[in-house]
């Protein structure tokens, strides 16, 4: 063990090794990659190579955060194999870093929203007087009671006074929830399901159970599991995983009764509602709100709004205000933003698969999830088990009729308006494997024909290169398309492949993804981001939005929710040889270290 002064060694380490000034030590830095940490007793501690230097920086930063002047460090901790170090960081640090609480200590933090006007507002549903009393007593923000009936007009009226929405409480205290990471301080719908899977892997069942409670609360008080608990998300949901989470938690007793009641409501009032159930019998994503999504930066829509602003002799910002106040209402803009918001309900914002046609599609992903929902309910809702199985059989028949292409050997989204499927090759076309909807023959066709078009060096891309098409002026990259890959896709496809007996394919894909994650963490100071370029095996994603989780100082305290989960879940699919390969990975610049 070596005892080293935190402040002095951290300052010297950064001055010598952080040559690009980003407050991390990575393969991009051009320092000597050889540092002597001053010890309080004995010889200096010699640390060499990007990986060990970054680990030292992280340990010093954690000690400083804990208020310690000195750090007791075992050199073997700096040399710990990258698999165990990353998995341990997720388990012991990242889940805690992502946990938020809407109580006296945590409320001020979660109310912060970079997309708002700076005012701290908390909205409480009229059906929750206990929450109203609790937050009024705290007095830390403006507490606003919502009307009994929340309409799209009411929601759009909140665009200029947005706020956070309350979540579940127990015994008079708000339950914790987890955020995706980075700038996000709210609980997101489908993110939370995958986060819960990671929590269960790491024996944090109490947090996974809290997520389920928040799901139930949102259905009871807001009528749906929301995109996220901010006012501007009140008119849209996200991909449905309530029943799958309940089964993962093995709920029983009174909690099971509550789940069944909530699931019946969500199924009928959200996913089988007149706005989402099409005449063909399959469902679509549909956001009932209108106007520009307030959570999206103005620069995404400036070019679109410019001609309308000029037509009315207004600046773009002034036109936006008039449009949101519904004093100027171009119907074609309403149609555009309905499509845009519905893409966001799908969770796949954005992709050329959905852009401009989201409401016209009965997508493979949503209807696969609903098939799984129906089969889950056949197990959870014993009183109506036969009815749920009949619904599932009907949905499978409709999917085979409208979405299955025998010639291509895969499912495609069905455009109910044109009466044809789209032909767009997406990772979501593999969701029937996770859902158990595909026949063994169909599963074999998917593995034979679709999987090779999506598999890359770092795992599965969101779609094929051919389906994405060429890029250029006026056609920029979309973050859910090729060459980018996302954790939820990997997790669902791994599970589906294993369920259909394709264990070798499952293991190979999981290894590719985890190898990319491990190498990135080694090379970039413990980085775990939202998404990856799976062709280049890189965290550098140059499409639309920044790669959340990629920016931090000294030590990654959070990672990114579902990406963390994919690592912990993915380890289960690897054999010992693959695990050993991950343990033996070396930093990309290992051969360049100066002597």
Rounded Cα gap, residues 3 and 571, in angstroms: 34
* Tokens 């034979």 sit on residue: 448
Provide the annotated active-site residues.
Answer: 349, 530
Q: Where are the beta strands (DSSP E) in 284-423?
A: 361-362, 404-405, 410-411, 414-415, 420-421
pLDDT, the chain, mean: 96
d(CA 496, CA 436): 7
pLDDT-derived band at 116, boundaries 50, 70, 90: confident
Please state whether beta strands 169-170 and 173-174 pair in parallel, antiparallel, or not at all (unpaired): antiparallel
pLDDT at 174 exceeding the cut of 80: yes
Give the other-Cβ count within 10 Å of 310's Cβ.
12
Could you give the C-alpha distances from 548 to 183, 349, 455, 463, 552, in angstroms and in order? 7, 14, 24, 21, 10
pLDDT tens profile 449-467: 999 999 999 999 999 999 9
d(CA 265, CA 272): 10
Residue 593 has pLDDT above 70, yes or no: no
Q: How confident is the model at residue 30 (pLDDT cuts 50, 70, 90)?
A: very high
CA distances from 408 to 63, 362, 424, 554 (A): 56, 19, 11, 49
Regarding beta strands 531-533 and 361-362, do their DSSP bridges make them parallel or antiparallel, or are they unpaired?
A: unpaired
Dump pLDDT digits (tens) for 139-161: 889 999 999 999 999 999 898 89
Average pLDDT (111-122) is 85
For residue 595, pLDDT beyond 70:
no
Would you state the pLDDT for residue 440? 98
Number of Cβ atoms within 10 Å of the Cβ of 357: 18
Ranges of each domain in the chain:
2-80, 167-285+362-573
**71-98 average pLDDT score:** 97
Rounded average pLDDT over 199-213: 98
Alpha helices per DSSP H over 50-126: 50-65, 75-78, 82-89, 95-98, 107-111
Q: How confident is the model at residue 132 (pLDDT cuts 50, 70, 90)?
A: very high
Q: Does domain 167-285+362-573 have CATH number 1.50.10.10?
A: yes
Closest CA to 164 of 139, 134, 143, 195: 143
Phi, psi of 143 (to 5 degrees): -100, 125
- pLDDT class for 39, splitting at 50, 70, 90? very high
What is the C-alpha radius of gyration for the chain, rounded to an integer number of angstroms? 25
Lowest-confidence segment of 74-88, 147-161, 197-211, 567-581 by average pLDDT: 147-161
User: Treating both helix axes as pointing N-terminal to C-terminal, what angle do 331-345 and 302-311 enclose, rounded to 10 degrees?
Assistant: 160
């Amino acid at each position: 063990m070596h005892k080293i002064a935190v402040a002095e060694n951290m300052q010297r380490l950064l001055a010598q090794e952080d040559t690009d000034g980003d407050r991390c030590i990575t393969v991009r830095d051009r320092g000597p990659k050889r540092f002597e940490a001053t010890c309080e007793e004995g010889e200096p501690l010699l640390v060499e190579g990007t990986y060990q230097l970054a680990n030292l920086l992280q340990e010093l930063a954690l000690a400083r955060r804990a208020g310690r002047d000195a750090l007791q460090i075992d050199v073997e901790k700096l040399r710990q194999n990258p698999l165990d170090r990353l998995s341990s960081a997720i388990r012991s640090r990242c889940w805690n870093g992502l946990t938020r609480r809407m109580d006296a200590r945590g409320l001020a933090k979660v109310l912060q929203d970079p997309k708002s006007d700076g005012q701290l507002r908390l909205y409480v549903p009229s059906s929750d007087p206990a929450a109203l009393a609790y937050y009024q007593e705290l007095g830390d923000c403006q507490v606003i009671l919502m009307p009994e009936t929340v309409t799209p007009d009411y929601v759009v009226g909140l665009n200029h006074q947005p706020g956070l929405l309350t979540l579940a409480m127990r015994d008079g205290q708000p339950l914790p929830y987890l955020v995706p990471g980075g700038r996000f301080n709210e609980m997101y719908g489908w993110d939370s399901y995958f986060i819960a899977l990671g929590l269960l892997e790491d024996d944090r069942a109490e947090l996974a159970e809290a997520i389920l409670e928040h799901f139930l609360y949102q259905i009871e008080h807001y009528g749906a599991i929301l995109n996220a608990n901010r006012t501007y998300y009140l008119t849209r949901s996200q991909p449905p995983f309530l029943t799958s989470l309940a089964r993962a938690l093995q709920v029983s007793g009174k909690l099971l009764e509550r789940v069944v009641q909530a699931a019946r409501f969500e199924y009928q009032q959200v996913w089988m509602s007149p706005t989402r159930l099409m005449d063909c019998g399959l469902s679509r994503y549909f956001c009932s709100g209108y106007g520009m999504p307030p959570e999206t930066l103005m620069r995404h829509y400036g070019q679109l709004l410019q001609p309308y602003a000029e037509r009315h002799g207004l600046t773009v910002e002034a036109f936006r205000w008039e449009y949101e106040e519904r004093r100027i209402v171009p119907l074609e803009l309403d149609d555009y933003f309905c499509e845009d918001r519905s893409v966001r309900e799908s969770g796949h914002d954005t992709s050329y698969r959905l852009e401009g046609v989201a409401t016209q599609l009965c997508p493979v992903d949503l209807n696969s999830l609903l098939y799984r929902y129906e089969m889950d309910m056949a197990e959870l809702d014993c009183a109506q088990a036969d009815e749920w199985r009949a619904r599932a059989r009907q949905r499978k028949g409709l999917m085979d009729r409208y979405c299955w292409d025998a010639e291509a050997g895969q499912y495609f989204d069905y455009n109910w308006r044109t009466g044809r499927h789209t032909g767009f090759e997406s990772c979501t076309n593999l969701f029937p494997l996770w859902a158990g909807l595909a026949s063994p023959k169909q599963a074999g066709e998917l593995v034979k024909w679709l999987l090779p078009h999506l598999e890359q060096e770092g795992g599965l891309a969101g779609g094929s290169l051919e389906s994405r098409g060429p890029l250029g002026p006026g056609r920029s990259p979309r973050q859910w398309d090729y060459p980018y890959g996302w954790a939820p896709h990997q997790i669902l496809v791994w599970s589906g492949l294993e369920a259909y007996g394709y264990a070798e394919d499952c293991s190979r894909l999981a290894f590719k993804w985890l190898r990319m994650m491990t190498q990135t963490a080694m090379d970039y100071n413990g980085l775990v981001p939202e998404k990856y370029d799976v062709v280049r095996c890189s965290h550098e994603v140059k499409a639309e939005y920044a790669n959340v989780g990629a920016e931090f100082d000294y030590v990654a305290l959070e990672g990114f929710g579902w990406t963390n989960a994919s690592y912990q879940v993915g380890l289960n699919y690897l054999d010992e040889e693959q695990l050993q390969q991950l343990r033996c990975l070396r930093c990309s610049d290992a051969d360049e270290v100066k002597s």
